[in-house]
Structure 1
Protein backbone atom coordinates (compact mmCIF):
# COMPACT_ATOMS: atom_id res chain seq x y z
CA UNK A 1 0.00 0.00 0.00
CA UNK A 2 1.40 3.37 -0.95
CA UNK A 3 1.32 6.48 1.18
CA UNK A 4 -1.80 8.61 0.74
CA UNK A 5 0.20 11.77 1.31
CA UNK A 6 2.73 13.38 -0.99
CA UNK A 7 6.33 13.39 0.22
CA UNK A 8 5.97 17.11 0.99
CA UNK A 9 2.82 16.56 3.07
CA UNK A 10 4.43 13.65 4.95
CA UNK A 11 7.54 15.75 5.61
CA UNK A 12 5.42 18.59 6.96
CA UNK A 13 3.49 16.19 9.24
CA UNK A 14 6.68 14.60 10.56
CA UNK A 15 8.27 18.00 11.23
CA UNK A 16 5.43 18.77 13.65
CA UNK A 17 6.22 15.83 15.95
CA UNK A 18 7.99 17.17 19.02
CA UNK A 19 10.64 15.55 21.13
CA UNK A 20 10.24 17.89 24.11
CA UNK A 21 7.23 19.38 25.88
CA UNK A 22 4.84 16.83 24.41
CA UNK A 23 1.29 16.49 25.73
CA UNK A 24 2.14 13.31 27.70
CA UNK A 25 5.19 15.00 29.21
CA UNK A 26 3.21 18.09 30.20
CA UNK A 27 0.53 15.93 31.81
CA UNK A 28 3.11 14.12 33.99
CA UNK A 29 4.86 17.39 34.83
CA UNK A 30 1.60 19.03 35.95
CA UNK A 31 0.69 16.02 38.08
CA UNK A 32 4.07 15.91 39.82
CA UNK A 33 4.24 19.67 40.32
CA UNK A 34 0.77 19.66 41.89
CA UNK A 35 2.02 17.02 44.35
CA UNK A 36 4.93 19.24 45.36
CA UNK A 37 7.75 17.55 43.44
CA UNK A 38 10.36 19.74 41.79
CA UNK A 39 12.59 18.62 38.95
CA UNK A 40 14.89 19.70 36.15
CA UNK A 41 13.91 19.24 32.54
CA UNK A 42 15.42 17.35 29.63
CA UNK A 43 18.48 15.65 30.96
CA UNK A 44 20.22 18.26 33.04
CA UNK A 45 21.71 17.54 36.41
CA UNK A 46 23.37 20.80 37.31
CA UNK A 47 25.43 21.72 34.28
CA UNK A 48 26.02 18.11 33.14
CA UNK A 49 23.85 16.34 30.58
CA UNK A 50 22.69 12.84 31.42
CA UNK A 51 22.67 9.95 28.92
CA UNK A 52 19.45 9.92 26.93
CA UNK A 53 18.35 13.38 28.10
CA UNK A 54 15.66 12.16 30.53
CA UNK A 55 12.45 14.19 30.46
CA UNK A 56 12.45 14.78 34.23
CA UNK A 57 15.49 14.76 36.51
CA UNK A 58 15.22 14.59 40.30
CA UNK A 59 18.89 15.24 41.06
CA UNK A 60 18.60 15.12 44.87
CA UNK A 61 16.93 11.72 44.67
CA UNK A 62 19.19 10.45 41.84
CA UNK A 63 16.08 9.50 39.87
CA UNK A 64 15.02 10.22 36.30
CA UNK A 65 11.82 9.73 34.34
CA UNK A 66 11.47 9.15 30.62
CA UNK A 67 8.03 9.72 29.09
CA UNK A 68 7.91 7.68 25.90
CA UNK A 69 5.46 7.46 23.04
CA UNK A 70 4.42 3.86 22.52
CA UNK A 71 4.80 3.88 18.72
CA UNK A 72 8.14 5.68 18.58
CA UNK A 73 9.81 3.60 21.29
CA UNK A 74 8.33 0.24 20.21
CA UNK A 75 6.36 -0.47 23.40
CA UNK A 76 4.70 -3.89 23.68
CA UNK A 77 1.17 -2.41 23.84
CA UNK A 78 -1.21 -2.31 20.88
CA UNK A 79 -0.14 1.17 19.74
CA UNK A 80 3.53 0.26 20.01
CA UNK A 81 3.12 -2.89 17.98
CA UNK A 82 1.33 -1.17 15.09
CA UNK A 83 3.57 -1.63 12.08
CA UNK A 84 3.30 0.93 9.29
CA UNK A 85 2.69 -0.65 5.89
CA UNK A 86 4.36 2.14 3.92
CA UNK A 87 8.16 1.95 4.07
CA UNK A 88 7.88 -0.91 6.58
CA UNK A 89 11.56 -1.90 6.49
CA UNK A 90 12.68 1.64 7.31
CA UNK A 91 10.26 1.99 10.23
CA UNK A 92 11.11 -1.43 11.67
CA UNK A 93 14.83 -0.60 11.65
CA UNK A 94 14.31 2.92 13.02
CA UNK A 95 12.10 1.79 15.90
CA UNK A 96 14.41 -1.14 16.72
CA UNK A 97 17.40 1.24 16.91
CA UNK A 98 15.39 3.52 19.20
CA UNK A 99 14.56 0.62 21.52
CA UNK A 100 18.20 -0.50 21.61
CA UNK A 101 19.43 3.06 22.27
CA UNK A 102 16.88 3.44 25.09
CA UNK A 103 18.22 0.27 26.74
CA UNK A 104 21.82 1.40 26.41
CA UNK A 105 21.06 4.81 27.91
CA UNK A 106 19.15 3.20 30.78
CA UNK A 107 22.13 0.93 31.55
CA UNK A 108 24.48 3.96 31.50
CA UNK A 109 22.27 5.86 33.93
CA UNK A 110 21.92 2.89 36.27
CA UNK A 111 25.69 2.29 36.18
CA UNK A 112 26.15 5.94 37.22
CA UNK A 113 23.86 5.41 40.24
CA UNK A 114 20.57 6.75 38.85
CA UNK A 115 17.19 5.05 39.21
CA UNK A 116 15.17 5.12 35.99
CA UNK A 117 11.42 5.00 35.37
CA UNK A 118 9.85 4.89 31.93
CA UNK A 119 6.27 6.13 31.69
CA UNK A 120 4.55 4.95 28.51
CA UNK A 121 1.96 7.01 26.68
CA UNK A 122 -0.61 4.22 27.08
CA UNK A 123 -0.22 4.39 30.89
CA UNK A 124 -1.52 7.96 30.94
CA UNK A 125 -5.10 6.79 30.37
CA UNK A 126 -5.49 5.66 34.00
CA UNK A 127 -4.70 8.75 36.08
CA UNK A 128 -4.90 7.07 39.48
CA UNK A 129 -2.62 4.19 38.45
CA UNK A 130 -0.18 6.69 36.92
CA UNK A 131 -0.16 8.75 40.12
CA UNK A 132 0.42 5.63 42.24
CA UNK A 133 3.27 4.52 39.98
CA UNK A 134 4.97 7.93 40.15
CA UNK A 135 4.56 8.27 43.93
CA UNK A 136 5.93 4.76 44.49
CA UNK A 137 8.96 5.54 42.32
CA UNK A 138 9.72 8.96 43.80
CA UNK A 139 8.91 8.21 47.42
CA UNK A 140 7.78 10.72 50.00
CA UNK A 141 8.23 14.35 49.23
CA UNK A 142 10.75 15.99 51.54
CA UNK A 143 9.87 18.87 53.85
CA UNK A 144 9.55 22.23 52.16
CA UNK A 145 12.15 24.76 53.18
CA UNK A 146 10.96 27.56 55.43
CA UNK A 147 11.44 30.70 53.36
CA UNK A 148 10.00 33.14 55.87
CA UNK A 149 12.43 35.68 57.27
CA UNK A 150 11.47 36.40 60.84
Structure 2
Protein backbone atom coordinates (compact mmCIF):
# COMPACT_ATOMS: atom_id res chain seq x y z
CA UNK A 1 0.00 0.00 0.00
CA UNK A 2 1.19 3.53 -0.66
CA UNK A 3 2.52 5.66 2.21
CA UNK A 4 -0.23 6.85 4.58
CA UNK A 5 -2.82 4.58 2.96
CA UNK A 6 -4.24 3.47 6.31
CA UNK A 7 -4.53 7.04 7.61
CA UNK A 8 -6.49 7.94 4.47
CA UNK A 9 -8.66 4.84 4.90
CA UNK A 10 -9.50 5.89 8.47
CA UNK A 11 -10.57 9.32 7.20
CA UNK A 12 -12.75 7.70 4.52
CA UNK A 13 -14.40 5.58 7.22
CA UNK A 14 -14.90 8.64 9.45
CA UNK A 15 -12.75 7.15 12.22
CA UNK A 16 -10.79 9.51 14.45
CA UNK A 17 -8.40 7.65 16.71
CA UNK A 18 -8.39 8.60 20.39
CA UNK A 19 -5.24 8.96 22.47
CA UNK A 20 -3.99 5.44 23.21
CA UNK A 21 -5.20 4.08 26.52
CA UNK A 22 -2.69 3.15 29.17
CA UNK A 23 -2.40 -0.32 30.71
CA UNK A 24 -4.84 -0.94 33.57
CA UNK A 25 -2.16 -2.52 35.78
CA UNK A 26 1.57 -3.42 35.74
CA UNK A 27 2.11 -4.61 32.16
CA UNK A 28 3.09 -3.18 28.78
CA UNK A 29 0.56 -2.00 26.20
CA UNK A 30 2.54 -3.89 23.54
CA UNK A 31 5.45 -6.29 23.26
CA UNK A 32 7.36 -6.75 20.00
CA UNK A 33 8.87 -10.20 19.49
CA UNK A 34 10.57 -10.92 16.16
CA UNK A 35 8.24 -8.73 14.12
CA UNK A 36 5.06 -9.77 15.94
CA UNK A 37 3.42 -7.08 18.05
CA UNK A 38 1.34 -8.48 20.91
CA UNK A 39 -1.21 -5.92 22.13
CA UNK A 40 -2.51 -6.34 25.67
CA UNK A 41 -6.22 -6.71 26.26
CA UNK A 42 -8.29 -3.61 25.55
CA UNK A 43 -11.91 -2.74 26.22
CA UNK A 44 -14.31 -0.20 24.73
CA UNK A 45 -13.88 3.53 25.27
CA UNK A 46 -16.14 5.03 27.89
CA UNK A 47 -15.72 1.90 30.01
CA UNK A 48 -19.33 0.66 29.91
CA UNK A 49 -20.08 -1.89 32.61
CA UNK A 50 -22.20 -5.01 32.38
CA UNK A 51 -22.80 -8.42 30.86
CA UNK A 52 -23.93 -9.42 27.40
CA UNK A 53 -27.28 -11.16 27.50
CA UNK A 54 -28.15 -9.46 30.78
CA UNK A 55 -27.32 -5.75 30.55
CA UNK A 56 -26.52 -5.49 26.84
CA UNK A 57 -27.81 -6.96 23.58
CA UNK A 58 -25.71 -8.66 20.94
CA UNK A 59 -25.98 -5.52 18.80
CA UNK A 60 -24.70 -3.34 21.65
CA UNK A 61 -21.87 -5.84 22.17
CA UNK A 62 -20.98 -5.58 18.47
CA UNK A 63 -20.70 -1.80 18.85
CA UNK A 64 -18.54 -2.22 21.98
CA UNK A 65 -16.26 -4.62 20.07
CA UNK A 66 -15.91 -2.07 17.26
CA UNK A 67 -14.99 0.62 19.80
CA UNK A 68 -12.46 -1.81 21.28
CA UNK A 69 -10.95 -2.25 17.81
CA UNK A 70 -10.55 1.52 17.60
CA UNK A 71 -8.76 1.45 20.98
CA UNK A 72 -6.43 -1.23 19.59
CA UNK A 73 -5.72 0.90 16.51
CA UNK A 74 -4.88 3.86 18.76
CA UNK A 75 -2.39 1.74 20.69
CA UNK A 76 -0.84 0.51 17.42
CA UNK A 77 -0.52 4.06 16.10
CA UNK A 78 1.09 5.20 19.35
CA UNK A 79 3.54 2.30 19.36
CA UNK A 80 4.40 2.24 15.65
CA UNK A 81 4.02 5.88 14.61
CA UNK A 82 2.13 4.77 11.50
CA UNK A 83 -0.51 2.10 10.95
CA UNK A 84 1.08 1.51 7.55
CA UNK A 85 3.69 -0.55 9.44
CA UNK A 86 1.06 -3.23 10.03
CA UNK A 87 1.83 -6.00 7.56
CA UNK A 88 -0.97 -8.27 8.73
CA UNK A 89 -3.50 -8.76 11.50
CA UNK A 90 -2.52 -12.20 12.81
CA UNK A 91 -5.06 -12.95 15.54
CA UNK A 92 -7.63 -11.43 17.84
CA UNK A 93 -8.98 -13.08 20.96
CA UNK A 94 -12.10 -11.88 22.69
CA UNK A 95 -13.30 -12.42 26.24
CA UNK A 96 -17.00 -11.60 26.44
CA UNK A 97 -18.41 -10.82 29.87
CA UNK A 98 -21.63 -12.76 29.40
CA UNK A 99 -24.61 -14.22 31.16
CA UNK A 100 -24.23 -18.04 31.28
CA UNK A 101 -27.12 -18.45 28.82
CA UNK A 102 -25.62 -16.07 26.23
CA UNK A 103 -24.61 -17.84 22.98
CA UNK A 104 -23.70 -15.07 20.53
CA UNK A 105 -20.11 -14.35 21.55
CA UNK A 106 -18.98 -14.75 17.92
CA UNK A 107 -21.47 -12.12 16.74
CA UNK A 108 -20.20 -9.68 19.36
CA UNK A 109 -16.55 -10.09 18.34
CA UNK A 110 -17.52 -9.52 14.70
CA UNK A 111 -17.56 -5.80 15.62
CA UNK A 112 -13.79 -5.84 16.01
CA UNK A 113 -13.17 -8.24 13.12
CA UNK A 114 -15.28 -6.18 10.70
CA UNK A 115 -13.45 -3.00 11.68
CA UNK A 116 -10.01 -4.55 11.09
CA UNK A 117 -11.11 -5.82 7.68
CA UNK A 118 -12.52 -2.39 6.75
CA UNK A 119 -9.31 -0.65 7.78
CA UNK A 120 -6.65 -3.10 6.53
CA UNK A 121 -8.45 -4.85 3.65
CA UNK A 122 -6.99 -8.29 2.90
CA UNK A 123 -4.24 -7.67 5.49
CA UNK A 124 -6.99 -7.55 8.10
CA UNK A 125 -8.11 -11.19 7.68
CA UNK A 126 -7.09 -12.93 10.89
CA UNK A 127 -7.36 -16.01 13.05
CA UNK A 128 -9.67 -15.58 16.01
CA UNK A 129 -10.91 -17.05 19.29
CA UNK A 130 -13.75 -15.89 21.49
CA UNK A 131 -14.67 -17.02 24.97
CA UNK A 132 -17.46 -16.31 27.41
CA UNK A 133 -16.19 -15.06 30.76
CA UNK A 134 -17.84 -15.12 34.15
CA UNK A 135 -16.25 -11.72 34.77
CA UNK A 136 -13.61 -9.41 33.31
CA UNK A 137 -11.72 -6.46 34.79
CA UNK A 138 -13.81 -3.44 35.69
CA UNK A 139 -16.95 -5.37 34.65
CA UNK A 140 -16.35 -4.32 31.02
CA UNK A 141 -18.60 -6.06 28.47
CA UNK A 142 -15.57 -7.50 26.67
CA UNK A 143 -11.80 -7.41 26.37
CA UNK A 144 -9.87 -8.11 23.17
CA UNK A 145 -6.19 -8.92 22.87
CA UNK A 146 -4.47 -9.03 19.51
CA UNK A 147 -1.37 -9.92 17.52
CA UNK A 148 -0.05 -8.05 14.48
CA UNK A 149 2.83 -8.71 12.11
CA UNK A 150 4.73 -5.48 11.58
CA UNK A 151 7.46 -4.15 9.30
CA UNK A 152 10.28 -1.77 10.19
Same fold judged by TM-score > 0.5?
Answer: no
Name the structure where strand makes up a greater proportion of residues: 2
TM-score, normalising length from structure 1? 0.27
Larger RCO, structures 1/2 (Cα 8 Å, 6+ apart)? 2
TM-score, normalising length from structure 2? 0.26
